[in-house]
């Protein structure tokens, strides 16, 4: 089987993403996640650039890994000084990693304008740096920075820089599309040309400035590259780096390359989410393979086909990358969507008429501004309410909310509610820091004595969206509430031109759902789980 070597640069190149900063503890945890996944090389950082990276290499040396090797990263020696006198080179040796990745210049523009040195001195910098590290017992990978731009400017010189690296002992020469501006077809053609001239293994390192980093990497592999560099979730400077979460399954599932074990591949989504949590960045739900929407289906015709055969609208089995098929309910849904959701919730729709009732209600409500894609708690209740023996645990008869400003200028809210529970009518009032909080407090005051389980329910998220801003204060308002009882979490929706009514609709569904029998719609909360 064909193999590729995986080289992860999340901790160095990925950390150059704007508003992303890993702590030392984050970096060590990510290193362990990547090792468990089966990544071959993990670039820990640039020890010559900052104290955190230096400490990382001190700490990571005490860890034991199942598979991965840690690499340190740095530049060739500076122009005009001896390699043994360069502090950056000394820091790479002090990092004590078995592999060192060195980057150097391939583009004459950078040689003359950035390094402000001669082409011959640049070649000496490459040779001497790599040779010195090899003599010091290190394996060396060479990143040819801006290689494709350099090749287009002066192909002979760009190839000469690779020859210098190879002759000095680099075991991999990595072609870098540093500006992310090279088309995949050009990457393939140039990689093929390099393969005819260079002895060591060829690597590829692309950036995503044209949204083609993954395509460029795949094209390079097809053209002969066997060492692939990238980051998890595509993190990186500007528009990011090539996303290993897309590259790994594409190479393995589509192209027949061995990257990691199948069992490890099944943890791809989990790893992507773990790293996004440590980065404190919400994972884009539309990322290929690992995003929550990667295998989500909304159109009725699609869902109908999927229920007949899983391959009809899915290019791979989502379980192979640790993901799952999701059916979304919306105004675009068909009967199959409703039937599938009922089965998912463990409910049985009594007849075809019930399916039509739920579907019609969904379409009518979405036409008024409701959106059920993120509010499956409300969807489940809609299905439950079609059951002949379903009895709502409470029913709102009336509510009143008063907002006042005190003599001290502070705002206060008071809500009065009248609800029916069984044969009882309960009338209560409560204060709150705002109208929704007061309404929540009042309804709980009425219901908790009868339904004590509600005491554990907490509102964990409250989102408001104005649907038609040009309507001003009369605009339709959508409210999405997420609730939790400490062991599970669910979301409900309300919509009205009155924000208090929209909040009440979502809040009432949230409390009613909490009292319904447990089903699969509620996310089970556990330590380390990622939604």
The answer to whether residues 253 and 321 belong to one domain is no
pLDDT digit string (tens) for 313-359? 899 999 999 998 877 665 555 656 766 666 666 666 656 667 777 67
236 touches 17 (CB < 8 A): yes
In a domain, 289, yes or no: no
SS3 140: strand
For the stretch 422-450, pLDDT in tens is: 889 999 999 888 888 898 899 889 999 99
Residue 103 — φ and ψ, nearest 5°?
A: -110, 145
- pLDDT confidence of residue 341: 63
Among 18, 67, 7, 76, residue whose Cα is nearest residue 43? 7
Mean of the per-residue pLDDT values of the chain = 87
* Residue 470: band (very low, low, confident or very high) from pLDDT cuts 50, 70, 90: low
**Residue 412 placed within a domain:** no
Host domain of residue 373:
296-384
Cα 485 from chain centroid? Answer: 26
CA distance 8 to 194: 23
The reply to whether 196 and 62 lie within a common domain is: yes
User: Distance (Å, rounded) from C-alpha 90 to C-alpha 54?
Assistant: 12
Assigned token pair, 158: 């760009």
For range 458-476, the mean pLDDT: 72
Same domain flag for 45 and 174: yes
The domain total for the chain is 2
To the nearest whole percent, how much of the chain has pLDDT over 70? 87
Task: Please check whether residue 146 lies inside any domain of the structure.
Answer: yes
Rounded to whole angstroms, how far apart are CA atoms 498 and 504? 10
pLDDT band per the 50, 70, 90 thresholds, residue 307? confident
Q: 312 vs 145, 204, 271, 305, 479, CA distance in Å?
A: 43, 34, 28, 6, 35
Question: Could you tell me which residues come within 8 angstroms of residue 439 by beta carbon, excluding any fewer than 6 positions away?
Answer: 399, 401, 415, 417, 432, 500, 503, 504, 507
82 with 193, same domain? yes
180 part of a folded domain? yes
State mean pLDDT over 179-198.
Answer: 93
Q: Which of the pair, 298 or 145, is modelled with greater confidence?
A: 145
pLDDT, tens digit (0-9, with 9 covering 90-100), for 6-65: 999 999 999 999 999 999 999 999 999 999 999 999 999 999 888 999 999 999 999 999
**197 confidence band (pLDDT: 50, 70, 90):** confident
Within a 13 Å sphere around the CA of 41, how many CA atoms are in the beta-carbon half?
Answer: 25
Judge if 161 and 12 occupy the same domain: yes
What is the longest distance spanned by two Cα atoms in the chain? 93
Instruction: Report whether pLDDT(469) > 60.
Output: no
One domain, residues 307 and 265: no
Looking at the predicted structure, is the pLDDT value of residue 531 above 70?
Answer: no
Which domain-ending residue is among 384, 405, 427? 384
- 36 part of a folded domain: yes
The answer on 366 and 237 residing in a single domain is no
For residues 318 and 378, membership in a common domain is answered with yes
- pLDDT of 496 above 50: yes
315 and 271 together in one domain: no
* Residue 178 binned pLDDT confidence (cut-offs 50, 70, 90): very high
Residue 527: pLDDT band (50, 70, 90) is very low
Structural domain contains residue 454: no
Query: How is residue 395 written in tokens?
Result: 């029913």
Residue 350 lies in a domain: yes
Residues 234 and 264 in one domain: yes
421 touches 447 (CB < 8 A): yes
CATH number, residue 262: 3.20.20.70
Asked whether residue 207 falls in the same domain as residue 329, the answer is: no
What gap in Å lies between CA 187 and CA 226, rounded to an integer?
Answer: 14
Residue 405 forms part of a structural domain: no
DSSP 207: B
Quick: pLDDT tens for 261-298.
Answer: 999 999 999 999 999 999 989 899 999 999 988 988 87
pLDDT at 458 exceeding the cut of 80: yes
Task: With a cut of 80, say whether residue 216 has pLDDT above it.
Answer: yes
Sign of CA dihedral 425, 431, 436, 441: negative
pLDDT of residue 317: 94
DSSP conformational letter for 15: G
130 and 197 part of one domain: yes
> What is the residue-wise DSSP string for 38-52?
T-SEEEEE-TTT-HH
> Where is the domain boundary, 384, 414, 439?
384
Domain stops at, among 384, 418, 451: 384
Q: With a cut of 60, say whether residue 523 has pLDDT above it.
A: no
| CA 9 – CA 324 distance, rounded (Å) | 28
């Amino acid at each position: 089987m064909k193999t590729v070597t995986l080289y992860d640069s999340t901790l160095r190149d990925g950390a150059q993403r704007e508003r992303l900063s890993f702590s030392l503890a984050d970096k060590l945890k990510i290193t362990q996640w990547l090792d468990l996944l089966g990544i071959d090389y993990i670039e820990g950082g640039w020890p010559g650039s900052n104290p955190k990276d230096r400490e990382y290499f001190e700490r990571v040396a005490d860890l034991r890994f199942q598979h991965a090797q840690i690499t340190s990263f740095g530049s060739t020696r500076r122009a005009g000084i001896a390699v043994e006198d360069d502090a950056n080179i000394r820091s790479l040796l002090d990092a004590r990693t078995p592999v060192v990745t060195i980057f150097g210049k391939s583009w004459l523009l950078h040689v003359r304008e950035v390094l402000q040195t001669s082409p011959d001195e640049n070649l000496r910098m490459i040779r001497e740096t790599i040779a010195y590290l090899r003599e010091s017992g290190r394996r060396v990978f060479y990143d040819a920075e801006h290689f494709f731009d350099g090749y287009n400017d002066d192909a002979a010189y760009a190839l000469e820089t690779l020859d210098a690296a190879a002759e000095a002992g680099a075991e991999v020469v990595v072609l870098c599309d540093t500006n992310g501006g090279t088309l995949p077809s050009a990457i393939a053609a140039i990689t093929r040309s390099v393969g005819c001239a260079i002895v060591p293994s060829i690597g590829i390192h692309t950036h995503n400035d044209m949204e083609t980093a993954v395509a460029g990497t795949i094209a390079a592999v097809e053209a002969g590259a066997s060492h692939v560099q990238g980051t998890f979730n595509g993190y990186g400077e500007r528009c990011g780096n090539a996303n290993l979460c897309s590259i790994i399954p594409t190479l393995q599932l589509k192209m027949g390359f061995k990257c990691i074990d199948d069992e490890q591949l099944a943890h791809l989504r989990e790893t992507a989410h773990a790293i996004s949590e440590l980065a404190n960045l919400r994972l884009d739900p539309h990322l290929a393979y690992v995003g929550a929407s990667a295998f989500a289906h909304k159109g009725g015709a699609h869902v109908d086909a999927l229920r007949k055969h899983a391959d009809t609208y899915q290019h791979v089995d989502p379980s192979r990358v640790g993901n799952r098929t999701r059916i979304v309910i919306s105004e675009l849904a068909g009967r199959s969507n409703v039937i599938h959701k009922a089965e998912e919730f463990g409910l049985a729709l009594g007849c075809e008429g019930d399916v039509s009732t739920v579907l019609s209600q969904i379409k009518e409500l979405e036409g008024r501004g409701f959106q059920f894609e993120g509010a499956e708690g409300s969807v489940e209740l809609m299905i439950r309410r079609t059951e002949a023996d379903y009895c709502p645990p409470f029913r709102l008869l009336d509510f009143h909310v008063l907002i006042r400003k005190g003599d001290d200028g502070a705002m206060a809210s008071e809500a009065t509610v009248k609800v029916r529970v069984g044969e009882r009518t309960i009338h209560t009032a409560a204060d709150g820091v705002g109208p929704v909080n007061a309404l929540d407090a009042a309804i709980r005051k009425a219901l908790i004595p009868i339904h004590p389980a509600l005491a554990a329910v907490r509102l964990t998220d409250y989102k408001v969206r104005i649907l038609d801003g040009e309507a001003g204060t009369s605009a339709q308002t959508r409210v999405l509430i997420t609730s939790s009882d400490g062991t599970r979490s669910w979301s409900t929706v309300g919509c009205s031109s009155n924000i208090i009514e929209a909040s009440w609709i979502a809040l009432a569904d949230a409390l009613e759902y909490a009292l319904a029998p447990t089903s699969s719609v509620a996310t089970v909360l556990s330590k380390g789980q990622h939604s």
